[in-house]
Chains A and B, each alone.
Chain A
Amino acid sequence: MTNDPIESTVKDFILEEFLPGERPDALTADTALVTEGILDSLATLRLVSFLEKQYKISIAPHEVDPEYLDTLPRIAALVRSKLG
């Protein structure tokens, strides 16, 4: 269970949109969402769309990359870097 509110929100979104029926504790901070194929390109774009709407941020094309989106902590770090 993560204490980070951003991670928590993103995790809920991913579970609801892409992993319905999966156990929430199976999605951890270490789960490699992009490199293990859980988030393909289309799912990644939907995630980006969600993050931009949810946090009123703008994500650049080069940030659609495992470096920024592969794990929950990395996604949260990206969002925080945009929020300032």
Chain B
Amino acid sequence: MSDGVPLLRRISSSRMTITFGLLALVIMLFVFVPLLKTVFGSSPSVLFETLLDAKVRSAIWLSLYTALLATVVGALFGVPLAYILARFDFPGRRVVEGLIDVPIVIPHTAAGIALLFVFGRNFFAGRAFNLLGISFVDSVAGIVIAMLFVSIPFLIDSAKEGFRSVDVRLEKVSRTLGASPWQSFFRISLPLAWRSILTGNIMMWARGISEFGAVMILAYHPMVASILVAERFETYGLDYARPVAALLIVVCLAIFIGLRTFAYRGGKA
């Protein structure tokens, strides 16, 4: 890290560049050091032991697949919305765009409470789903809707930007060549916006895995990894929480680095 300044000097020795470089260095250290310390602070043997803990493994696994479920549901309903927001100008479009982003800006515990008021056992949607045998309180379904609610904006925003960057005349030309609106969407708009949509999906999945507040309100059990970390910290203290946190960070990093590499290479071909 300390050779950052000489490197910058080679690129440009302007005072502004140096100042920016130093400021950037501070924030980079701020992000990287805690991550690295958590991961490398636990000895490999402790990490391995933690991995053997069935409770830890099931919590991480639960986080991964509930977030994935939330993303699949999010993509199914969110991509069409993103397309509509990108393509059509209608009264209230900006309001919709603003509302979609609300879950990002409100405290997620508040989001969880809001969800309880719709999906709780005594409320409309909760009762309707109850007839189908689905309960959202302390269940996988509850985890999924909590994650869905707080992470869907990432997918919609990214997909929307993707569709917006596709020249609408490409769709128009495809129509004159005989494509139906469906064919035009699946052969032109979707492939061209694919990278943004995929990025949105990855972001949404990541956000889902990291969700704590809303999940805690709706479904403390079964326990996802973020809740397990909190519980270990509260009950046993830092030394017991750290290996779980480290494992979670490593798993997430591995998956996201892998996915992003795949996504960007795939898009280029």
Whether A associates with B in a native complex is no
